[in-house]
């Protein structure tokens, strides 16, 4: 008798049960710890104990900044110091897809530029012990400033941002300034001045409306996080950096705090009165092109913006940064405050074959040639202080540098829940679109975000992070 | 026995490939669904049915299920109806000429036009319709609306329209294939039947419902199952077209986008596998139900 479909299905079911589960690619979590490569002897010239002949593998996210800088600057420097060592350079746009199987198999690269849309989740890497402790790097002598430790040559916040569970594990290489961007030439031509208060902001909105320009727009389709950032930084302006620290710490009532509600309500009002709902369906590039066409006055973004839009920028446009206007008269931070943050994550694999070489590679990235060359090549400032004198920078970066000077100590801190609790951040993006489009009220926004934050807090499968500054 | 050896010899390789690349990942998905695997290590802990408990308590999961139900009804219905209509027009509606049934004038041209979307990659279709649905005056549809003095419509940003806009794209892309499938089915129907009906005074509509559709039933049934399974996918289009990959407010989300987000953005591979298991059973149930419900006496001619 020929087998019926039923028999085949039953057979398959039995086969599935019979498959020894342990034989699959996944085993129970008592896997032996990966090999820890032994260090060579340390010396003054070799404080990290690099084995001069050992191979080094570097994975670079080849996005807006390309990967040429790594080959020409940092790998070249490593090769000069350790000519016997073979360097394997890997450029990819899919860091996660390419590396995830290698982390599972235990064949990991030494240095990883964990950026881009498919970056690996750092939290789970830490949980599995994959990220090397960067303390030796931060304590090592700097190659940029003789006599100083690496840690002491960096901008404020760079070290704090490297910490995961209190241990430095990820180096954020570049500095970016985030606030509102506008066309300085347009303002000059129209005789407008940059608004400092919410009343002035509204008044300018009326003026712009007459000229057929939307006062403000953000890309709702791809990049609503630009506006989520903007909401959070505005809230910090009202209530101080504590607002952001509470949010990051998943503190009770962090999202329902009055500064958050005020900031969200203020921006929802601007969108309602002077915005254009078409932008909810545009991506960041489309929105940025419209900004360049002077259809939008203010755009919330970071100082990489000019680099990104260099090809499309007409001569009539000059990027300049403006702080978010003061929302209340009793804001905790002055008008000049802007957000200064770090990005472009690099880490060294703890279970790689050459972790010492990886640390040394990062030290070379933070050297004078490494960091200054990077700024020259990609027009991004690095976290190493005081290396950019005499460099040709974009007007956006120059404007940001001036704004940084004006802000002085009044800088808005970065929100770390973006990487700590990506789920909360993604949920925040959908809620931002909702509240800006008027589908929910600012109060509902705060309540929904708080509910999600509380859920994550109660979820034991997610490792929690805390920060005090 | 020799015959069995012959058959087995042919089957061995495909079955082996199928087991390695289809069955074993499925089995593994069932296993991973019971763990807290984060995707970057070889080790994992079993957590029992935790992932399923979380899934059933999750609003987004139910939203995705609701969207699948809408897709499951609307997409095959629209596609099959349109494809049947077009196939009928292309093959039979022109009446009998020289002993064969022919289509309306220019049917050769239309055949190519209908089939064209089928050869485009889904990602290309997505990008294309991003331009079509663009919510300002640069959009293909909204450009016309604005010229006519109307307000532009947020095809993908209005939560009441978004899913329907995406269904329209799916239908647009699928119709061509089913036109070809049904055309082949119609070509197999003997022309005498049509002639007899025609002599008895049946009009085009009557002929369609009394002859074409019943004799085409097997093909329609197959098409329905294919489309139903496609309705459980929708990943690529939703990912490219919708805002927030499944928004606004989850209005267009499908299980596949939730699986992708949970696995690759949040490293919750265990939970994502649980969603995958749910999707597996949904698809299986649908296929079994359709076979059962649409079972009919086969008409032999």
- pLDDT for A143: 92
CB-CB under 8 Å, A104 with B40: yes
State the Cα–Cα distance between residues A51 and A325, nearest whole angstrom. 54
B-chain residues within 8 Å CB-CB of A28?
43-46
Summarised one tens digit per residue, pLDDT across range A382-416 is 898 888 777 888 888 888 888 888 888 888 998 98
Task: With respect to residue A231, please indicate whether it lies within any of the assigned structural domains.
Answer: yes
Interface test with B, best of A24, A281, A290 (most B CBs within 10 A): A281
B-chain residues within 8 Å CB-CB of A96?
264
Based on the fold, state whether residues A172 and A182 are members of the same structural domain. no
Alpha helix (H) ranges present in chain B?
2-18, 24-32, 50-56, 59-91, 107-115, 122-133, 140-147, 162-187, 191-199, 204-207, 213-215, 217-231, 235-241, 255-260, 269-293
| Phi, psi for residue A366 in degrees, rounded to 5 | -95, 10
A-chain residues within 8 Å CB-CB of B263?
none
CB-CB under 8 Å, A278 with B135: yes
State the Cα–Cα distance between residues B287 and A375, nearest whole angstrom. 58
Task: Answer for the pair A463, A126: CB distance below 8 angstroms, yes or no.
Answer: yes
Based on the fold, state whether residues A345 and A243 are members of the same structural domain. no
Based on the fold, state whether residues A391 and A420 are members of the same structural domain. no
Task: With respect to residue A316, please indicate whether it lies within any of the assigned structural domains.
Answer: yes
Q: Cis omega before residue B248 (within 30°)?
A: yes
| Phi, psi for residue B45 in degrees, rounded to 5 | -115, 140
Which CATH number covers residue A102?
3.40.190.10
CB-CB under 8 Å, B152 with A31: no
- pLDDT for B107: 75
Question: Smallest Cβ distance to A124: which of B26, B40, B261?
Answer: B40
Q: Is B143 on the interface with A (CB under 8 A)?
A: no
First to last CA, chain A: 75
Number of separate domains in chain A:
2
Based on the fold, state whether residues A123 and A236 are members of the same structural domain. no
Q: CA nearest B136: which of A285, A432, A280?
A: A280
Task: With respect to residue B96, please indicate whether it lies within any of the assigned structural domains.
Answer: yes
State the smallest CA–CA distance between residue B175 and chain A in angstroms: 27
State the smallest CA–CA distance between residue B230 and chain A in angstroms: 23
Last residue of a domain, one of A349, A369, A397: A397
Which residues of chain B are modeled with pLDDT < 50?
A: none
- The residues with which B97 forms a beta bridge, in sequence order, are B100
B-chain residues within 8 Å CB-CB of A221?
156-157, 243
State the smallest CA–CA distance between residue A184 and chain B in angstroms: 26
Based on the fold, state whether residues A199 and A166 are members of the same structural domain. no
Tokens 């919510």 belong to B135
- The residues with which A88 forms a beta bridge, in sequence order, are A57
State the Cα–Cα distance between residues B246 and A335, nearest whole angstrom. 37
Task: Answer for the pair A341, A229: CB distance below 8 angstroms, yes or no.
Answer: no
A-chain residues within 8 Å CB-CB of B155?
281
- Using CA of residue B203, residue B206, residue B209, residue B210, what is the dihedral sign? negative
Angle at A326 between CA A322 and CA A329, to 5 degrees: 160
Residues 6+ apart with CB under 8 A from B16: none
Task: With respect to residue A156, please indicate whether it lies within any of the assigned structural domains.
Answer: yes
Task: With respect to residue A405, please indicate whether it lies within any of the assigned structural domains.
Answer: no
Q: Is B59 on the interface with A (CB under 8 A)?
A: no
β-pairing, A27-28 with B43-44? parallel
CB-CB under 8 Å, B155 with A281: yes
- pLDDT for A22: 37
Based on the fold, state whether residues A76 and A93 are members of the same structural domain. yes
CB-CB under 8 Å, A430 with B249: yes
State the Cα–Cα distance between residues A108 and B46, nearest whole angstrom. 26
Based on the fold, state whether residues A426 and A363 are members of the same structural domain. no
CB-CB under 8 Å, B247 with A26: no
Interface test with A, best of B157, B258, B280, B281 (most A CBs within 10 A): B157
Interface test with B, best of A108, A221, A282 (most B CBs within 10 A): A221
- In a 13 Å sphere around the CA of A280, the CA atoms on its Cβ side amount to 28
Q: Is B32 on the interface with A (CB under 8 A)?
A: yes
Task: Answer for the pair A149, A324: CB distance below 8 angstroms, yes or no.
Answer: no
**Which residue segment(s) compose the domain that A145 sits in?**
56-176+341-397
Which CATH number covers residue B203?
1.10.3720.10
State the smallest CA–CA distance between residue A72 and chain B in angstroms: 31
Tokens 């989520």 belong to A228
State the Cα–Cα distance between residues A61 and A64, nearest whole angstrom. 9
Number of separate domains in chain B:
1
β-pairing, A411-412 with B95-97? unpaired
Based on the fold, state whether residues A349 and A335 are members of the same structural domain. no
* 10-residue mean pLDDT series, chain A (469 residues): 51 45 45 56 85 93 87 94 94 90 90 87 85 94 91 85 89 92 94 94 93 93 90 95 94 94 95 91 90 94 86 92 93 92 91 93 94 89 83 84 83 88 91 93 95 90 81
Task: With respect to residue B235, please indicate whether it lies within any of the assigned structural domains.
Answer: yes
State the smallest CA–CA distance between residue B283 and chain A in angstroms: 15
State the Cα–Cα distance between residues A111 and A125, nearest whole angstrom. 14
- pLDDT for B132: 93
| Phi, psi for residue B201 in degrees, rounded to 5 | 90, 20
CB-CB under 8 Å, B159 with A439: yes
Task: With respect to residue A167, please indicate whether it lies within any of the assigned structural domains.
Answer: yes
State the Cα–Cα distance between residues A252 and A453, nearest whole angstrom. 9
State the smallest CA–CA distance between residue A274 and chain B in angstroms: 16
Residues 6+ apart with CB under 8 A from A263: A231, A232, A234, A235, A237, A238, A327
Last residue of a domain, one of A353, A368, A397: A397
Task: With respect to residue A406, please indicate whether it lies within any of the assigned structural domains.
Answer: no
What DSSP string runs through B270-290?
HHHHHHHHHHHHHHHHHHHHH
State the Cα–Cα distance between residues B74 and B138, nearest whole angstrom. 29
Task: Answer for the pair A402, A184: CB distance below 8 angstroms, yes or no.
Answer: no
| Phi, psi for residue A459 in degrees, rounded to 5 | -85, 110
Question: Smallest Cβ distance to B42: which of A21, A104, A437?
Answer: A104
Task: With respect to residue B216, please indicate whether it lies within any of the assigned structural domains.
Answer: yes
Task: With respect to residue B6, please indicate whether it lies within any of the assigned structural domains.
Answer: no
Task: With respect to residue A3, please indicate whether it lies within any of the assigned structural domains.
Answer: no
Q: Is A343 helix (H, G, I), strand (E, B) or coil?
A: strand
Task: With respect to residue A402, please indicate whether it lies within any of the assigned structural domains.
Answer: no
**Which residue segment(s) compose the domain that B103 sits in?**
58-293
Based on the fold, state whether residues A282 and A310 are members of the same structural domain. yes
> How many Cβ pairs within 8 Å bridge chains A and B?
134
Nearest-by-CA chain A residue for B15 = A12
What DSSP string runs through A263-308?
HHHHHHHHHHHH--GGGGG-BHHHHHHHHHTTSEEEEEEETTHHHH
Based on the fold, state whether residues A203 and A251 are members of the same structural domain. yes
CB-CB under 8 Å, B43 with A128: yes
Based on the fold, state whether residues A305 and A188 are members of the same structural domain. yes
Q: Is B43 on the interface with A (CB under 8 A)?
A: yes
Tokens 């990220």 belong to A131
- The residues with which B102 forms a beta bridge, in sequence order, are B95
Q: Which tokens go with B8?
A: 């087995």
- The residues with which A326 forms a beta bridge, in sequence order, are A197
Question: Smallest Cβ distance to A29: which of B24, B45, B155?
Answer: B45
Task: With respect to residue B3, please indicate whether it lies within any of the assigned structural domains.
Answer: no
- pLDDT for B188: 81
CB-CB under 8 Å, A426 with B38: no
Helix (H) or strand (E) holding A319: strand A319-322
CB-CB under 8 Å, A100 with B43: no
Q: Is B158 helix (H, G, I), strand (E, B) or coil?
A: coil
Helix (H) or strand (E) holding A89: strand A87-92
Alpha carbon of residue A36 to chain centroid: 30
Question: Smallest Cβ distance to B39: which of A106, A124, A423?
Answer: A124
Summarised one tens digit per residue, pLDDT across range B159-204 is 889 999 999 999 999 998 999 888 888 888 888 888 888 888 887 7
Summarised one tens digit per residue, pLDDT across range A215-244 is 999 998 888 899 999 999 999 999 999 999
Q: CA nearest A407: which of A335, A329, A468?
A: A335
Based on the fold, state whether residues A358 and A326 are members of the same structural domain. no
Interface test with A, best of B60, B267, B272, B295 (most A CBs within 10 A): B267
Residues 155-184 of B with CB under 8 A from A: 155-157, 159
| Phi, psi for residue A425 in degrees, rounded to 5 | -65, -45
State the Cα–Cα distance between residues A111 and A376, nearest whole angstrom. 22
Interface test with A, best of B39, B130, B146 (most A CBs within 10 A): B39
**Secondary-structure breakdown of chain A: helix, strand, coil percentages, each rounded to the nearest 5:** 45, 15, 40
B-chain residues within 8 Å CB-CB of A97?
264
State the smallest CA–CA distance between residue B22 and chain A in angstroms: 12
CB-CB under 8 Å, A281 with B133: yes
B-chain residues within 8 Å CB-CB of A279?
136
Q: Is B247 on the interface with A (CB under 8 A)?
A: yes
A-chain residues within 8 Å CB-CB of B261?
426
């Amino acid at each position: 008798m020929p087998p019926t479909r039923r028999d085949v299905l039953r057979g398959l079911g039995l086969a599935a049960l019979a498959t020894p589960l342990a034989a699959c690619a996944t085993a129970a979590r008592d896997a032996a710890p990966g090999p820890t490569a032994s260090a060579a002897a340390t010396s003054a010239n070799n404080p990290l104990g690099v084995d001069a002949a050992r191979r080094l593998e570097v994975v670079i996210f080849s996005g807006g900044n390309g990967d040429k800088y790594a080959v020409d600057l940092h790998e070249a420097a490593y090769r000069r110091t350790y000519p016997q060592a073979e360097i394997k350079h890997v450029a990819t746009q899919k860091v996660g897809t390419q590396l995830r199987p290698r982390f599972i198999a235990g064949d990991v690269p030494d240095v990883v530029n964990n950026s881009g849309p498919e970056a690996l989740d750092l939290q789970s890497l830490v949980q599995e012990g994959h990220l090397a402790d960067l303390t030796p790097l931060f304590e090592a002598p700097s190659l940029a400033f003789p006599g100083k430790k690496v840690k002491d040559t960096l901008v404020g916040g760079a070290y704090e941002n490297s910490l995961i569970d209190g241990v430095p594990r990820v180096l954020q290489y570049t500095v970016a300034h985030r606030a509102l961007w506008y066309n300085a030439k347009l303002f000059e031509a129209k005789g407008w001045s940059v608004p400092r208060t919410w009343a002035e902001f509204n008044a300018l909105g009326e003026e712009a409306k007459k000229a057929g320009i939307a006062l403000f727009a953000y890309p709702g389709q791809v990049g609503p996080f630009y506006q989520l950032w903007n909401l959070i930084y505005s809230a910090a302006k009202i209530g101080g950096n504590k607002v952001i620290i509470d949010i990051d710490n998943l503190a009770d009532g962090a999202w329902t705090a009055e500064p958050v509600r005020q900031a969200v309500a203020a921006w929802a009002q601007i969108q309602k009165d002077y915005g254009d709902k078409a932008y909810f369906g545009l991506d960041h590039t489309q929105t940025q092109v419209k900004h360049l066409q002077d259809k939008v006055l203010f755009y919330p973004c970071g100082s990489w913006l000019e680099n990104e839009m260099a090809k499309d920028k007409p001569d009539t446009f000059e990027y300049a940064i403006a702080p978010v206007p003061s929302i209340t008269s009793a804001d905790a931070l002055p008008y000049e405050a802007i957000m200064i943050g770090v990005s472009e994550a690099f880490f060294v694999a703890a279970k790689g074959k050459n972790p010492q070489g990886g640390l040394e590679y990062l030290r070379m990235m933070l050297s004078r040639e490494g960091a200054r060359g990077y700024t020259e090549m990609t027009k991004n400032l690095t976290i190493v202080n005081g290396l950019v004198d005499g460099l040709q920078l974009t007007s956006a970066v120059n404007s940001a540098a001036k704004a940084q000077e004006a802000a002085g100590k009044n800088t808005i801190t970065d929100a770390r829940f973006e990487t700590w609790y990506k789920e909360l951040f993604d949920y925040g993006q959908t809620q931002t679109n909702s509240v800006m489009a008027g589908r929910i009220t600012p109060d509902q926004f705060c309540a929904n975000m708080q509910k999600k934050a509380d859920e994550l807090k109660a979820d034991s499968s997610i490792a929690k992070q805390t920060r005090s500054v | 026995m020799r015959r069995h050896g012959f058959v087995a010899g042919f089957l061995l390789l495909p079955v082996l490939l199928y087991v390695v690349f289809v069955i074993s990942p499925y089995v593994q998905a069932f296993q991973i669904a019971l763990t807290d695997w984060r995707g970057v290590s070889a080790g994992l802990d079993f957590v029992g049915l935790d992932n399923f408990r979380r899934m059933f308590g999750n609003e987004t999961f139910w939203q995705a299920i609701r969207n699948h139900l809408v897709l499951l009804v609307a997409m095959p219905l629209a596609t099959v109806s349109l494809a049947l209509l077009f196939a009928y027009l292309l093959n039979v509606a022109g009446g009998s000429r020289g002993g064969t049934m022919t289509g309306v004038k220019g049917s050769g041209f239309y055949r190519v036009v209908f089939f064209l979307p089928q050869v485009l990659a889904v990602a290309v279709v997505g990008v294309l319709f991003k331009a079509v649905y663009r919510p300002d005056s640069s959009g293909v549809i909204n450009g016309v609306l604005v010229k006519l003095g109307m307000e532009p419509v947020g095809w993908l940003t209005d939560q009441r329209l978004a899913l329907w806009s995406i269904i329209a794209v799916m239908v647009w892309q699928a119709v061509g294939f089913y036109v070809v499938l049904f055309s082949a089915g119609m070509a197999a129907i003997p022309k005498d039947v049509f002639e007899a009906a025609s002599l008895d005074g049946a009009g085009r509509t009557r002929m369609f419902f009394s002859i074409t559709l019943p004799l085409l039933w097997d093909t329609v049934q197959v098409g329905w199952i294919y489309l139903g399974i496609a309705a459980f996918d929708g990943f690529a289009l939703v990912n490219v077209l919708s805002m927030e990959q499944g928004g606004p407010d989850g209005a267009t989300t499908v299980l596949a986008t939730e699986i992708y987000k949970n696995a690759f953005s949040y490293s919750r591979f265990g939970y994502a596998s649980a969603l995958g298991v749910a999707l597996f059973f949904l698809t299986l149930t649908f296929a079994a139900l359709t076979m059962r419900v649409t079972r009919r006496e086969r008409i032999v001619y």
